[in-house]
Amino acid sequence: MAWVGKSTLRKEGEKKLRGDAKYIDDITLPNMIYGVTVRSPIARGVLKGIEYLPGVNWSEIVKVTAEDIPGQNYIALIEKDQPYLVEKNINHPEEPILLLAHPNKHLLEKAKTLVKFNIDPLPAIFTMKESFAKKEIIWKDDNTFKSYAIDRGDVQAGFKNAKFVFEGTYETGAQEQLYIETNGVIAIANETAGVTVWGSLQCPYYVHKALMPLFNFPPEKIRVVQAETGGGFGGKEEYPSVISGHAALLSWKSKLPVKMIYDRMEDMSATTKRHPSITKIKAGFDNHKKLIALDIDFTIDGGAYATLSAVVLSRGTLHAAGPYYSPNVKIRSRALATNTPPHGAFRGFGAPQSLFALEKHMEFCARKLNSNPAIFRKNNLVKKGQLLGCGQWVKEEIEIASVLEKALTVSGFQEKRKRFLATNKNSVVKKGIGLAVFMHGAGFTGSGETFLSSIASVKATAEGKIEVLTSNTEIGQGTNTIFAQMTADILKIDPSDVEVVQPDTAHVPNSGPTVASRTCMIVGKLVEQAALDLKEKLFSIQLLNKKHTRKEFLGACKKYIKDVGELKGTSQYKAPPNVIWDEQRYQGDAYGTYAWATYVAEVSVDTRSYTTTVDKFWAVQEVGKVINPTLAKGQIIGGVAQGIGYALYEEVVWKNGKMANARMSNYIMPTTLDVPDIEVHFTEMPYAYGGGGSKGIGELPLDGPAPAILNAMEQALGIELTQIPMTPERLMAKMNENSL
């Protein structure tokens, strides 16, 4: 009986429906007190002092500043540039300066308003342009967190031979993750027991790594436990290290357990968002309209500290040339510093930005060449035996052409294009249909997975259960359910026999972070191998026949535990054969494999109010094996809704580096009424090195919607649109400025 491929019920679904699931704010420990963060009101300056104004009894309130830190004052991630608490230099609005704790959380809100920071302001920079021009140097010598260069073939010669050359510039804005549950943790920290943190988080071992230097503790004195988590979307990848450290510092000083929960406004204004970007593209075509030279310049705004910007930039860079073949490619990219709160991980991780630019540019080129956008793209798709932009050989047959074909058929693309052109003539509400063709590589980039060397275990218990032990978290996306399905298939048992153990660094091995769809594809495979390893132990002493039933297997486990002892299978990541990555030239097999997709959007634009409605959406993709169709479809639909927000609605309004609209009433995320019927189609080509045959699916729905929607708007209006979010205000300005 194969469980993989079936829509088994969500493992923790009932608990969540009943309200039995314990999120961090549902947990209270004896003597627990509350903590809050007091933050910088300005973007850049030098802290001169802190005043505590009368109005509360300050002697009752625990205060922590940088001076109270027992270890080292940096948040361990890639660089050591970001302090837990400001010592002297302030580099962005909302930067944490002071922590307060008290048993009454309401009193803390009042106390916060009675703290006065004396700050000598310094000039700040807020745009990539200012940062690039080094108007002020705010990070190391040149404001550049990281840059990449890819050179393949001879781009100059390519452009020389090109019959047609087109250039364009594209911009994307910041985006807030807006998980339902805001960031929150509980921490206990003291000299004897060390530090324990429970929290809403994606990557327990990231927090573990960050807390060690903060307290100068060895690994065994730090324990991080994931509580039930209400969504992450990348927003709980690196940020929990910050709030965990803060709560732990307050606990260290107060000697009591400390809970910190951000409210929505703090979560929106102080935590990470998607990196804004500017991309310049120059593309050259021969007289058959074949792409022969591609020059891409990709810049992202990292905010004030390095955080994960280098890695976000890497993924954006490696996806920048999209699913097209060009013999000559040049890519330059950089992540720059500005005095805004650091930008960070968000579903898609750099790829939605660079793919938006590329798919807008391909549309532009098609129009300039008087070509049908679908046929033009098809003509340029990468094929087996050719190189992707990042210099990766396509070694196997890929489905991108058939995925594109299917998307055209199910959406009625060509017929509608023609029809809308005719009906738009006499109508104030203009219709359009547009598409985006793209791919996404799951798992860590380049040699990242080898470097991580993740470990997973599967263990039989005396009670007759099979436990899956990984540090990968259930954040709503279905980790528990798919791990149970995969394990059940290997061991020929039922998913209900499987328990996916709560990620707790004291009990689970480090299987790496829950990011980049690697949980399903990479760690899923490790779980399967660990299950095979466990079974091998039973085979090796003839406790079990190869052909066995569920009952025989569970019986053999029991006997093994009784006679031999612990029964546990383990596996560690090994790169698939022939995956070669050249870090120096930044070329090669950037990803083990790719998922391929074509998304189509049908829109109406009201030319009186400049509002755009997405009327219908088709998401067609080849994703390896679909492990759980219901969950997979849910991922795509939810992601497309988030992508619609990215394209049309969600604008972070910045004022001097500060988010001015940090509320759900004025940061406009689409409601159910703004989200159309979304048709999801999967094509399956099982991937031998992915759990259950899977590739990644989670990021696709953030890559495709924005370019597809803007391309549809262009068809409706006959103007060129190069920026998201394409709000009605921006659209009005555009429509009045140019007509094609």
C-alpha radius of gyration, the chain, whole number: 26
Q: Which is nearer to another protein, 106 or 288 (CB)?
A: 106
Considering beta carbons, is residue 359 or 651 the nearer one to another protein? 651
Taking the least distance from each CB to another protein, the nearer of 213 and 725 is 725
Closest CA to 432 of 599, 672, 613: 613
Element (H, E) at 422: helix 413-423
CB of 273 to another protein, least distance (A): 16
Q: What is the DSSP letter of 669?
A: -
Structure tokens given for 552: 């025989």
Whole-angstrom distance, CA of residue 315 vs CA of residue 312: 5
What is the C-alpha separation between 3 and 12, in angstroms, rounded? Answer: 17
Closest distance to another protein from the beta carbon of 731 (Å):
9
Task: Name 116's bridge partners.
Answer: 51
- Judge if the upstream peptide bond of residue 577 is cis by omega within 30 degrees of 0: no
CB of residue 106 to another protein, shortest distance in Å: 5
Nearest to 664 by CA among 35, 182, 96, 183: 182
Q: Which residues contact 571 (CB under 8 A, 6 or more apart)?
A: 455, 456, 457, 526, 527, 529, 530, 532, 533
DSSP 381: B
Please give the structure tokens belonging to residue 282: 């120059």
Closer residue to another protein (CB): 75 or 108? 108
Within 10 A of 369 (CB to CB), how many other CB atoms are there? Answer: 14
The nearer residue to another protein, 553 or 649, going by C-beta atoms, is 649
Question: Is 41 or 588 the residue whose CB approaches another protein more closely?
Answer: 41
- Give 67-93 as a 3 state SS string: HHCCCCCCCCCCCCCCCCCCCCEECCC
**Tokens 């994960």 sit on residue:** 308
What is the nearest approach in angstroms of another protein to the Cβ of residue 606? 9
Residue 695: Cβ within 10 Å count: 32
Quickly list H helices, 492-546.
518, 524-540
Q: Which two tokens stand for residue 697?
A: 């699916």
Number of H helices, E strands in the chain: 21, 27
The sheet that has 594-606: what strands, in order across it? 429-441, 594-606, 611-622, 677-683
Residue number, 580 or 733, with CB nearest to another protein: 733
Residues in the chain: 740
Give the binding site for another protein (CB under 8 A).
106-107, 109-110, 113, 263, 265, 608-611, 649, 653, 660-661, 663-666, 668, 670-674, 728-729, 732-733
- Cα separation, 45 vs 26, in Å, equals 38
- State the nearest-atom distance from the C-beta of 260 to another protein, in Å: 15
> Does an H or E element contain 167, and which?
strand 164-172
Pull the structure tokens for residue 264: 């929505």
CB of 6 to another protein, least distance (A): 36
Kindly tell me which of 58 and 539 has the beta carbon lying closer to another protein. Answer: 58
Of the pair 37, 392, the CB lying nearest another protein is at 37
**Least distance to another protein, CB of residue 39, Å:** 13
Question: Taking the complex as a whole, how short is the minimal distance between the CB of residue 109 and another protein, in angstroms?
Answer: 5
Query: Residue 105 or 559: which CB sits closer to another protein?
Result: 105
Close Cβ partners of 521 (under 8 Å, ≥ 6 residues apart) = 442, 443, 592, 624, 687, 689, 690, 691, 694, 695, 696
- Checking 395-403 for CB contacts under 8 A at 24+ apart, the result is 395/578, 398/594, 398/596, 398/622, 399/596, 399/622, 399/683, 399/685, 400/323, 400/437, 400/439, 400/596, 400/598, 400/622, 402/622, 402/683, 403/596, 403/597, 403/598, 403/620, 403/621, 403/622, 403/683
Q: What is the helix (H) or strand (E) element at residue 144, kind and residue range?
A: strand 144-152
In angstroms, the CA 251 to CA 467 distance is 33
Of residues 433 and 662, the one with the C-beta less far from another protein? 662
Q: Which is nearer to another protein, 101 or 623 (CB)?
A: 101
The nearest distance, CB 276 to another protein, in angstroms, is 17
Q: Give whichever of 586 and 654 is closer to another protein, judged by the CB atom.
A: 654
For residue 107, the minimal CB distance to another protein (Å) is: 6
Residue 88: C-alpha distances to residues 97, 342, 539 (Å): 9, 18, 63
Output the smallest distance, CB 673 to another protein, in A.
4
How far, in Å, are 336, 469, 472 from residue 455 at the CA level?
34, 9, 11
Closest separation in Å from C-beta 18 to another protein: 23
Q: Which of 370, 665 has the CB closer to another protein?
A: 665
The angle formed by the CA atoms of residues 6, 230 and 573, to the nearest 5 degrees, is 60
**72 alpha-carbon distance from chain centroid:** 28
Least distance from another protein to the Cβ atom of residue 108, Å: 9
Least distance CB 602 / another protein (angstroms): 17
- Smallest distance from the beta carbon of 23 to another protein, in angstroms? 17
Q: Is the CB of 46 or the CB of 733 nearer to another protein? A: 733
Q: In the complex with another protein, which residue's Cβ is closer, 524 or 670?
A: 670
Instruction: Name the minimum Å distance from CB 172 to another protein.
Output: 19
